């Protein structure tokens, strides 16, 4: 595993990018992305769009409370792996999704993406629905976690892209 530093002038922070040379990630072409989104509906559409625009993990999205979304500062604070808390910036697409979800969420749930019962979404149900959309769109070898890696590739400015596949971004 190797490291690459990336300075974000908007956040005034330095990111450490970890990458492997031989990891095979699955990137979507613009046509594949359009086709996939045509097979996503409702909450799943919003979740996938949010992950593609923020790079959040599944559990970070499922556990996201309204109180961790700062629409004024355009950030979202999540508790990630190992209970590490981090704040992610929101682009216009992610901000739009979260504004809508925060306004329309059920009153009995603090979660941005609650289940019908107002509790945390079961991972298996989302993965099953996502897998069906992937299959219906004719994609092969594409999994939900690939969205996170694809997002990291898209979020990075093109001048700092490397020919390696990025595994993780963390603040230094």
Q: Of the candidates 22, 103, 12, 91, which has an alpha carbon nearest to the alpha carbon of residue 66? A: 103
| DSSP category for residue 111 | B
Using one digit for the tens of pLDDT, what is the confidence trace for 71-91? 999 999 998 888 889 998 899
What is the CATH code for 28-171? 1.10.443.10
pLDDT number for residue 84: 87
Contact between residue 76 and residue 87 where contact means Cβ atoms under 8 Å apart? yes
pLDDT higher than threshold 80 for residue 18: no
What is the reported pTM? 0.74
**Class of residue 22 by CB neighbours under 10 A (exposed 0-12, middle 13-18, buried 19+):** exposed
Q: Please give the Cα distance from 14 to 6 (Å, whole number).
A: 6
pLDDT higher than threshold 80 for residue 9: no
Q: What's the distance, CA 159 to chain centroid?
A: 22
Using one digit for the tens of pLDDT, what is the confidence trace for 99-133? 998 888 767 788 898 888 888 888 888 889 999 99
E-strand stretches of the chain: 2-8, 13-20, 69-70, 75-79, 85-89, 165-171
Q: Please give the Cα distance from 78 to 169 (Å, whole number).
A: 14
pLDDT number for residue 153: 67
CA angle 86, 87, 90 (to 5 degrees): 145
Using one digit for the tens of pLDDT, what is the confidence trace for 21-69? 445 667 788 898 899 999 999 899 999 999 988 889 988 999 999 999 9
Contact between residue 106 and residue 66 where contact means Cβ atoms under 8 Å apart? no
In this predicted model, which residue has the larger pLDDT, 169 or 56? 56
Task: Tell me whether strands 165-171 and 75-79 are parallel, antiparallel or unpaired.
Answer: unpaired
Q: Where are the domains of the chain?
A: 28-171
- Pair of tokens at residue 56: 């959040």
Using one digit for the tens of pLDDT, what is the confidence trace for 129-167? 999 999 999 988 888 888 887 777 666 654 444 444 444
pLDDT number for residue 14: 67
| DSSP category for residue 6 | E
């Amino acid at each position: 595993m190797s490291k690459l530093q990336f300075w974000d002038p908007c956040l005034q922070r330095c990111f450490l990018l970890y990458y492997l040379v031989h990891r095979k990630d699955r990137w979507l072409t613009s046509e594949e992305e359009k086709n996939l989104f045509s097979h996503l509906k409702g909450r799943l559409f919003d979740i996938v769009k949010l992950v593609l625009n923020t790079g959040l993990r599944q559990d970070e999205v499922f556990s996201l409370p309204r109180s961790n979304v700062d629409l004024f500062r355009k950030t979202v604070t999540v508790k990630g792996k190992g209970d590490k808390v981090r704040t992610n910036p929101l682009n216009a697409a992610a901000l739009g999704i979260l504004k809508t979800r925060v306004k329309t969420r059920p009153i009995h749930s603090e979660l941005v993406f609650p289940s019908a019962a107002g509790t945390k979404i079961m991972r298996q149900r989302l993965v099953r629905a996502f897998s069906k959309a992937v299959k219906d769109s004719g994609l092969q070898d594409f999994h939900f976690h690939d969205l996170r890696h694809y997002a990291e590739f898209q979020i990075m400015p093109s001048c700092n892209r490397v020919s390696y596949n990025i595994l993780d971004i963390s603040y230094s």
